[in-house]
A and B are shown apart, each in its own frame.
Chain A
Amino acid sequence: RKEVEQDPGPFNVPEGATVAFNCTYSNSASQSFFWYRQDCRKEPKLLMSVYSSGNEDGRFTAQLNRASQYISLLIRDSKLSDSATYLCVDGFKLSFGAGTTVTVRA
């Protein structure tokens, strides 16, 4: 079993919609997680960190469910510029998920 698993998608949503997806992790001792976004042929860029139950930054909300060992990312009022691959990271194990692709259409 991989340490971090993500639904690869793609999630195709219209502008303005809300999209949410999860990431599951296997190490119950892990306490820190991150969401990165990666555009095609670019480097990953930090979106947000998740140390406790959750974090919110503008239109983005991350939730951590320790009991079920998953992290979620929710994007509200999605923009065309949100189209990217979103990578979940277990900060303790330094393991990246394979990514979830989101495409926002006009």
Chain B
Amino acid sequence: DARVTQTPRHKVTEMGQEVTMRCQPILGHNTVFWYRQTMMQGLELLAYFRNRAPLDDSGMPKDRFSAEMPDATLATLKIQPSEPRDSAVYFCASGSRVVGQGPQETQYFGPGTRLLVL
């Protein structure tokens, strides 16, 4: 049963520290999404990649957030420096866009990283 994996599952850190979250998409999926979920804002798209190239990162605070895909099996989301308002659950999702399949692929979510910045 193929799944998206995320590490760490939980992270508690102090304001100003660097946080790195990792995601392993489902093997063969060529699209990776990063979302943030809070009670106030719900699920917000931060960035997404297709075939490892960033397609949209307009939802991401540029001054402190960065997202990369060093290879097809690893996506990273980094926050430096972290702030208390970054506390949220960060989800990674992957999908596979196939020509003719439809206008948008379905997304399969990982279990999330629960981040608490003190």
Contacts and interface: CB of A to CB of B under 8 A. Distances in A.
Contacts, number: 42
Nearest to B44: A96
A58 to B, nearest CB: 18
B65 interface: no
B78 to A, nearest CB: 21
B91 A43 contact: yes
A99 B42 CA distance: 8
Contacts of A97: 42
A69 interface: no
B109 A45 contact: yes
B29 to A, nearest CB: 13
Given A43-B109, A44-B109, A94 B102 contact: no
A49 B45 contact: no
B49 interface: no
Contact of B42 (A42, A49, A94, A96): A96
Interface of B is mostly: strand
Interface residues of B, number: 19
A98 B38 CA distance: 10
B4 to A, nearest CB: 8
Interface of A: 31-32, 34, 42-46, 49, 51, 87, 91-92, 94-99
23 contacts: A31-B103, A32-B103, A32-B104, A34-B107, A42-B111, A43-B91, A43-B109, A43-B110, A43-B111, A44-B43, A46-B108, A49-B102, A51-B102, A87-B43, A91-B103, A91-B104, A92-B103, A92-B104, A94-B33, A94-B104, A95-B45, A96-B35, A96-B45
